[in-house]
């Protein structure tokens, strides 16, 4: 059924009647299609469901195109990013085309679903703005960071699950909570993998978040347990191109203080809640998606 979603997106692209846009779309790496998997598992494969998944994936792709411009990223999922190969202007416009076409199609699916998804895109944009602001200097503001994480990543997963529940006539609040927890945990694990996984697995350099200015939860936890001298050292490495020695120092200190374990525990609490919620509704497949998320290594 994921194929039906891919075909729907291709159809939407063809309708734009622009061969350059179609060829650009074909060059985009497809990713894990996590939002589609959620939507299809919750709501089956009705045409409205397929269309909803297609629009959500287009919005997600658009947000990543813009994010790569903002982050000045050269790669996306191990491939050259569109901003790197075609330039920022093309990447921005391709993003605009994808999400405006998605909105155009959404309105025709269901006003309720359109409301939920478009509200998530407002959150997404607020979250990206907060991310840019928070990345400017070293901070240890956990609440601001978690709000940003919710807006930037969890809101679209929350909206995906809620939209699917609306289409399937299922209790939307429970599915919304499940999507939110999954989204928060997904980003927390992403932040952990940025520290633990190697360059090849990640498709981007390791410890890239900190170099980009992103002070994720593991760095906040680490800062809290370091000596004043070590704290100064950590802050001095923020937003800096790190030498091998500096990277090793960060990783060594994280290992010494069991920081990664702490961060995993936090993500696991959210996943456990999501699993319990889905098991209470008899949704074994959705509970399995949550279980797999905590085990993912890329």
218 binds, among Mg ion, ligand FPP, none (CB under 5 to 8 A by kind): none
Helix (H) or strand (E) holding 190: helix 172-196
Q: How far apart are CA 115 and CA 152, in angstroms?
A: 18
Q: Which of residues 90-119 bind ligand FPP (CB under 6 A)?
A: 95, 99
Q: Which of residues 125-144 bind ligand FPP (CB under 6 A)?
A: 125, 128
Nearest to residue 281, comparing CAs of 172, 182, 174, 176? 174
Among 53, 124, 161, 278, contact with ligand FPP (rule: CB under 6 A): 124
| CB 129 to ligand FPP: min, Å | 8
Strand pairing partners for 75? 80
> With contacts defined by CB under 5 A, how many residues of the chain interact with Mg ion?
2
Give me the phi and psi of 173, to 5 degrees please: -65, -40
Strand ranges (DSSP E) for the chain?
Answer: 75-76, 79-80
67 to 86: interface string for Mg ion, x by CB under 5 A: x---x---------------
62 binds, among Mg ion, ligand FPP, none (CB under 5 to 8 A by kind): ligand FPP
Residue 155 in the binding site for ligand FPP (CB under 6 A): no
Q: How far apart are CA 50 and CA 211, in angstroms?
A: 38
* Residue 132 CB neighbour total at 10 angstroms: 13
Positions in the binding site for ligand FPP (CB under 6 A): 59, 62-63, 66-67, 71, 73, 95, 99, 121, 124-125, 128, 152-153
Positions in the binding site for Mg ion (CB under 5 A): 67, 71
């Amino acid at each position: 059924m994921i194929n039906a979603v891919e075909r729907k997106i291709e159809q939407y692209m063809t309708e734009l009647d622009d061969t350059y846009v179609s060829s650009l779309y074909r060059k985009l790496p497809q990713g894990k299609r996590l939002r589609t998997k959620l939507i299809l598992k919750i709501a089956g494969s009705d045409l409205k469901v397929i269309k909803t998944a297609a629009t959500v994936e287009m919005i997600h792709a658009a947000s990543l195109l813009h994010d790569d411009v903002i982050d000045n990223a050269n790669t996306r999922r191990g491939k050259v990013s569109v901003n790197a190969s075609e330039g920022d202007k093309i990447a921005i416009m391709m993003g605009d085309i994808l999400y405006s076409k998605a909105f155009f199609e959404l309105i025709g699916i269901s006003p309720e679903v359109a409301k939920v998804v478009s509200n998530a895109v407002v959150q997404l944009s607020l979250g990206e703005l907060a991310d840019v602001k928070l990345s400017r200097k070293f901070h240890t503001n956990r609440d601001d960071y978690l709000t940003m994480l919710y807006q930037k990543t969890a809101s679209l997963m929350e909206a995906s699950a809620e939209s699917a529940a609306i289409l399937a006539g299922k209790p939307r609040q429970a599915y919304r909570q499940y999507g939110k927890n999954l989204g928060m945990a997904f980003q927390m694990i992403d932040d952990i993998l940025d520290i633990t996984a190697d360059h090849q697995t990640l498709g981007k350099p390791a410890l890239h978040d900190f170099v980009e200015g992103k002070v994720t939860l593991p760095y906040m936890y680490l800062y809290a347990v370091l000596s004043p001298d070590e704290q100064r050292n950590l802050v001095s490495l923020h937003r800096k191109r790190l030498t091998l020695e500096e990277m090793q120092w960060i990783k060594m200190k994280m290992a010494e203080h069991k920081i990664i374990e702490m961060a995993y525990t936090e993500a696991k609490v959210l996943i456990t809640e999501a699993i319990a919620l889905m098991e209470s509704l008899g949704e074994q497949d959705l509970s399995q998606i949550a279980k797999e998320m905590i085990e993912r290594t890329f």
